Structure 1
């Protein structure tokens, strides 16, 4: 009698949904708020105006992230439901044809035809729609769209990210605000890139460098525009 030996494994792909939204939210919170603060400060604005601009950017950005994530992920969810509904109808109309279709995917992946058909029939006996959703449509429990989760995660992490550069405004002297804000925000971004890569099991240095580079570019461009506007005004 053949005995199956099972062992547990931790796969990080299950974190994709919320991790993507979390990293995007926090990154956008730091970059957009820091860039806004640096741009306003470079225009020689008063400390109170800088703080108000940063706070407004935090609130507006968090709401925008939540709405944007909800709408975009909802569109993905709608597409998934439409595909599942169509697959359900095809299963009802031609079950035998769907068996051969599913078996064809396994044959293309290297399984011999007889075994592929046997596997397809067994899987469809248990849950035909789930089998086709996974192997034909690429929809699974781990990767399915979750609009509310994405919206709340993005809003929360944007707020947390934006709060960091906003706190610098209240702590740093006005005369050195731009340089301190930029330096601290780049450190925040580097830390975010490292943490995000660590949680997702990705290379740390590559993710850190990528996040820091684009953040530095955004802040540099905003500071330049702020200085030009300040001189013009």
Structure 2
């Protein structure tokens, strides 16, 4: 059973290390998903090209083009998404700052009500609100009311670079595997890709707290379907041309 002091600390700041660990896991999970995208996207391109032609230079060129296009697309998409989120967070933080300046008493009462709603007694909730307000009113209100840490807003450039890097690292695997001898390049690439997808799928599921087996099978089936589809299309195009 928690003491009153432990309850106050938990209500005011959340469980120890929870926020920081959650943020790190989210970043790592995003990196795993970005690598999965790179693996599947470029694997589909090179397998499809290998079905259409035996020209190694053409296959590699298509794979490199797919890697570059995918990395840029991932970076731009992440930059726009995070920039939009950051702009929204800044807007609501500006409103909160203005409200603190214009009606501090009402904001103090609101903060106390939040902690009372978390299970603290009215007297304890009021004391927590007063002490947090004296220390850093803006941060206290931003975290309690909005769920935002104003000192740790996500940097869109960091997000864009991370997405591009994770996609590139994933894409390198099928690009290297397709350099195998012509007789085995497709099965070698498919095998390498499915192994990598199985590992990243299991890791992503574990990081997200999802059932590992189900998530891994889902990723494997998706990757296999993508490669089978592009191989069939490449084969038909190769025959037609």
TM bucket, shorter chain = 0.7 to 0.9
SS of equivalent residue, structure 1 residue 216 = helix
Change in CA separation of 1:65 and 1:50 when aligned onto 2, cut-off 3 Å: same
- The structure 1 residue matched to 2:74, chosen from 21, 46, 65, is 65
The equivalent residue for 2:238 is 230
Residues 1:76 and 2:90 are matched in the alignment: no
Paired residues of 2:93 and 2:142 also in contact (CA < 8 A): yes
Residues 1:218 and 2:226 are matched in the alignment: yes
> Matched residues in 2 for 1:197 and 1:169: separation?
28
Q: CA deviation at 1:45?
A: 5.0
The equivalent residue for 1:183 is 191
Paired residues of 1:197 and 1:203 also in contact (CA < 8 A): yes
The 5 Å alignment of 1:143-182 reads: 144-171=153-180, 173-182=181-190
Per-residue CA deviations over 1:136-157 (Å, capped at 9, x if unaligned) read 1111379742212211111111
> Matched residues in 1 for 2:147 and 2:56: separation?
52
Residues 1:46 and 2:55 are matched in the alignment: yes
How many residues end up aligned between the 2 structures? 230
Q: CA deviation at 1:117?
A: 2.0
> Matched residues in 2 for 1:223 and 1:179: separation?
11
Paired residues of 1:34 and 1:162 also in contact (CA < 8 A): yes
SS of equivalent residue, structure 2 residue 120 = coil
Q: Which deviates more from structure 2 when the two are superposed, residues 156-165 or residues 197-206?
A: 197-206
Paired residues of 1:18 and 1:149 also in contact (CA < 8 A): no
Paired residues of 2:179 and 2:185 also in contact (CA < 8 A): no
Q: CA deviation at 1:91?
A: 0.7
Runs of 5+ unmatched residues, structure 2: 10-14
TM-score normalised by the chain length of structure 2 = 0.83
Paired residues of 1:197 and 1:207 also in contact (CA < 8 A): yes
Where in structure 1 do 4 or more consecutive aligned residues deviate above 6 Å? none
> Matched residues in 2 for 1:145 and 1:16: separation?
14
Paired residues of 2:74 and 2:163 also in contact (CA < 8 A): yes
The equivalent residue for 1:138 is 147
Runs of 5+ unmatched residues, structure 1: none
> Matched residues in 2 for 1:125 and 1:101: separation?
15
The equivalent residue for 1:21 is 30
Change in CA separation of 1:217 and 1:106 when aligned onto 2, cut-off 3 Å: farther
